[in-house]
Structure 1
Amino acid sequence: MDCLRIGVIGCGSIARRRHLPEYANNDKVEIIAVCDSYDVRAKEIAEIYGAKAYTDYHELLLDPDLDAVSVCLPNSFHAPVSIAALNAGKHVLCEKPMATSHEEATQMIDAATKNDKKLMIAHNQRFVSSHRKARELIGNGELGKIYSFRTVFGHGGPEGWSIDGRNSWFFEKEKAFIGAMGDLGVHKTDLIRYLLGEEVTEIAAFVETNAKENTNIDDNAVCILKMESGIIGTLAASWSYVSESDNSTIIYGENGIIRLEDDPEHSLIVQYKNGEVIKYKLDKIQTNDADGQHTSHIIDSFINAIIKDTDVPITGSEGLKSLQVILSALESSQQKGIVRVPI
């Protein structure tokens, strides 16, 4: 297969800033179709990329020349559109969170298996240089036993990111299902699973709406996580960091501390117990700023897996495990207690 023919469903900010430009920069890809319920938006993007514009994704999926699609829609549409695409014989790259329930996510995985098509979830934090190096250091025992962690993802909210600003679907419960925890928290549940190489088994969470007005979508969450081996740590997701974003993670081990994306110059700093400090200057993490649009590596990984017929690096099953932590956090907050996370 020399060139993959791609469709992008949803022409909002994530498609414009990440999926479409990264597909366009891949010489093994041709963008042949785009879809958005707003016809003006679909036509605008179609003209830029020389693609055909659709306003109904069902019509787009009827194109026999289409090999794969990106699903860049509001959260509540991720599962139904992905399942329809898989059943239409297309490979699928779906934005996070992959679904709004365990049942939906399982249906997506089953559809991929039944149709022998690839399903990848766009958890891009696994591809950040500092995170990959940290996983290596933790995996080879550099830090010894891991005791604890702190991981945070916060910014001022989707009104500064979404193409529709404060009128975005992010603030509509029916379309979003979940707010800061689905937008940012799920990135961090996936990251901590990736870094430590084990699953979250228990969670206690406060998931609140206290920063945004006229919405019932969560905008602040703080969680305590317990891992399989007994490691405990905290996770925070917020749309209330109004002056500066925070996308940092700190890992505490018996031999030292790893600081990830916690310093403006050095993406990874290791502070050893003996006083030695090693600072790594690696590729910077992606941000929503104009100068922070570094490649996510998500698109290239998805395309390579299709062309080489190998497993995608972030499968539907992996996406489900990260989603389940978020679902359990909601349950914990509602019940005001500790919840066991199904593994």
Structure 2
Amino acid sequence: MTKIRVAVIGCGSIAKHRHLIEYNNNPHVEIVAVCDINEARVKETAEKYHAKAYTSYEALLESENIDAVSVCLPNYLHATVSIAALNAGAHVLCEKPMATSREEAEQMIEAAERNNKKLMIGHNQRFVSSHQKARKLIEQGEVGKIYSFRTSFGHGGPEGWSADGADSWFFKKDQAFIGAMGDLGVHKADLLRYLLGEEFVEVGAFVETNAKENIDVDDNATLILKTTSGIVGTLAASWAYTAKEDNSTILYGENATLRLEDDPEYSLIVQYNNGEVVKYELDGIQSNEDGGQTTSHTIDHFVESILHDTNPLIDGEEGKKSLQVILGALESVETKRIISLEK
């Protein structure tokens, strides 16, 4: 059996704790090359995975015969490097947010189509067991019409997780382009689109930097969102939840309320209007604190889509739609208006 030859570009925390571990655990994959501008970091990574080390992604793409690439770089490089990899004939799994503008996202999609390659965006929340179960219950009509939702994604910030700690690119606007809202908020925008099965048509936002000093991106964001059918709710993204991570979503429906990742023991609790409560014990959600013990299923899904020539669940178009929610939120902050996303 020929293995998929993979390169990982960017050897920071998300590569270390997710991509590299999960590729290494996949029997269909061979990690051929790794790349990072930090020479010590890339050498250490290359030794661990018996791969070739590069400090230039251009050199890697030129020298190696690669089937697929994971792009695990600062946000401002996502589009440039993804497009270069697609043009070099590789399938691409790009971390979120996929790009820093709609134009960049469209250029990535166009490059994937032109080269007939897969482009997947790493929105791993869709693969969480409780989220998949909730989507099934909604599709089966168990919840009835959904009226409202609230979702949060927050922790103490990237300094506890990023490879560079307090010096992380996450805090630098020229590299990150956006703070907690791009790091965490875009995940929840994607999750809600997936769960509700609808697009968002309007967004209003408040975005602040009020928890951390010497950073020039947001660390607290709250969005108010409305879908096509008029479901309204809130999305909070924060790097200021210092005591404990919050990764919960609550959906309020006609027949039931769904509580996702809101209880320490049960990842999904369904509270029916008649007083009945059903609690599901499912696989836990992956968090930054589990030391790579859980799998995000993202890498396996990407590999499957290559092996079976299927469209990945979160392709470029899906990634773009979730990005547009965040771009709309930024516009709302700048203009102090509710922004229409139906452009």
TM-score, normalised to structure 2's length?
Answer: 0.99
Cα deviation code 1:211-241 (max 9, x no counterpart): 1101110000011100010000000000000
Percent of matched pairs sharing the same residue: 69
Q: Which amino acid aligns with 1:223?
A: L
Aligned positions of 1:169-208 closer than 5 A: 169-208=169-208
Deviation, 1:291, is: 5.1
- Could you list the per-position Cα deviations for residues 55-101 of structure 1 after superposition, in whole angstroms to 9, with x for gaps in the alignment? 00001111342111000000000000000000111110000000000
CA distance in structure 2 between the partners assigned to 1:66 and 1:291 by the alignment: 28
> Counterpart of 2:24?
24
Give the unaligned 5+ runs of structure 2.
none
Q: Distance in 2 between matches of 1:290 and 1:305?
A: 27
CA distance in 2, matches of 1:2, 1:199: 40
Q: Which residue of 2 aligns with 1:119?
A: 119
* 1:130 lines up with 2:138 in the alignment: no
Deviation of 1:308 after TM superposition, in Å, equals 1.0
Does the 8 Å CA contact 1:287/1:293 hold for their aligned counterparts?
no
Matches of 1:323 and 1:25, distance apart in 2: 30
SS in structure 2 opposite 1:99?
Answer: coil
The CA distance in 1 between the partners of 2:64 and 2:276, in whole Å, is: 59
Q: Deviations over 1:141-167 (max 9, x none)?
A: 101110000000000000011011000
CA distance in 2, matches of 1:338, 1:68: 40
Name the structure 1 match of 2:270. Answer: 270
Matches within 5 A, 1:17-96: 17-96=17-96
What TM-score comes out, normalization by structure 1 length? 0.99
The structure-2 alpha-carbon separation of the partners of 1:48 and 1:64, relative to structure 1 and needing over 3 Å to count, comes to closer
Using the TM superposition, give the Cα deviation of residue 312 of structure 1 relative to its aligned residue in structure 2, in angstroms. Answer: 1.2
Measure, in 1, the Cα distance between the counterparts of 2:64 and 2:219: 42
Unpaired segments of 5 or more residues in structure 1?
A: none
Question: CA separation in 1, counterparts of 2:222 and 2:312?
Answer: 31
What are the residue-to-residue correspondences of 1:216-227 with 2, within 5 Å? 216-227=216-227
> For residue 244 of structure 2, what is the aligned residue in structure 1?
244
Give yes or no for the alignment of 1:305 onto 2:305: yes
- Secondary structure at the aligned position of 1:210 is classed as coil
Over 4 Å off, 4+ runs: none
> For 1:304-343, what aligned pairs fall within 5 Å after superposition?
304-342=304-342
- Cα distance in 2 for partners of 1:313, 1:222 equals 27
CA deviation profile, 1:111-146 (whole Å, cap 9, x unmatched): 000000110000000000000000000111101110
Q: After superposition, give the CA deviation of every residue in 1:291-325 in whole Å (9 maximum; x if it has no partner).
A: 56410111011111111111111100000000000
Separation in 1, partners of 2:18, 2:155: 18
SS in 1 for 2:63: coil
Task: Tell me which residue corresponds to 1:212.
Answer: 212
- 1:127 corresponds to which letter in structure 2? F
Query: What CA distance in whole angstroms lies between the structure 1 residues aligned with 2:175 and 2:266?
Result: 38
The reply to whether residue 100 of structure 1 matches residue 100 of structure 2 is: yes
Q: Which residue of the partner structure matches residue 150 of structure 1?
A: 150
Q: Secondary structure of 1:82's partner?
A: helix
| Partner Cα distance (2:294, 2:275) in 1 | 33
Letter of the 2:33 partner, please give it: A
Code of the residue aligned with 1:208 in structure 2: it is: E
Alignment of 1:7 with 2:3, yes or no, is no
| Alpha-carbon distance in structure 1 between the residues aligned to 2:224 and 2:257 | 19
- Superposed displacement of residue 342, structure 1: 3.2
Superposed displacement of residue 341, structure 1: 0.9
Q: Which residue of the partner structure matches residue 296 of structure 2? A: 296
The code of the aligned residue for 1:78 comes to H
Once residues 246 and 234 of structure 2 are traced to their aligned partners in structure 1, the CA distance between those partners, rounded to angstroms, is 14
Paired residues, number: 343
* Conserved 8 A contact 1:5-1:66: yes
How far apart are the structure 1 equivalents of 2:314 and 2:224?
Answer: 24
- Distance in 1, matches of 2:68 and 2:254, equals 46
Whether the 8 Å CA contact 2:21–2:292 is kept in 1: the answer is no
The whole-number CA distance in structure 2 between the counterparts of 1:264 and 1:291 is 18
Kindly indicate whether the alpha-carbon contact (under 8 Å) linking 2:34 and 2:46 is maintained by their aligned counterparts in 1. yes
CA 292–276 in structure 1, closer or farther in 2 if over 3 Å, else same: farther
Give runs of aligned pairs for residues 157-168 of structure 1, distance below 5 A: 157-168=157-168
Contact 1:9–1:73 under 8 Å retained in 2? yes
Q: Contact 1:181/1:221 (CA < 8 Å) preserved in 2?
A: yes
Distance 1:205 1:86 in 2: 34
Which secondary structure does the structure 2 equivalent of 1:18 belong to? helix
Deviation at 1:290, TM superposition (A): 3.2
Looking at structure 2, the residues matched to 291 and 65 of structure 1 have their Cα atoms a distance apart, in angstroms, of 31
Q: Distance in 2 between matches of 1:312 and 1:64?
A: 24
Alignment RMSD (CA, Å) = 0.9
The 8 Å contact of residues 179 and 218 in structure 1, kept in 2 or not, is answered as yes
**Whole-Å separation in 1 of the counterparts to 2:64 and 2:158:** 36
Which of 63-72 and 134-143 deviates more?
63-72
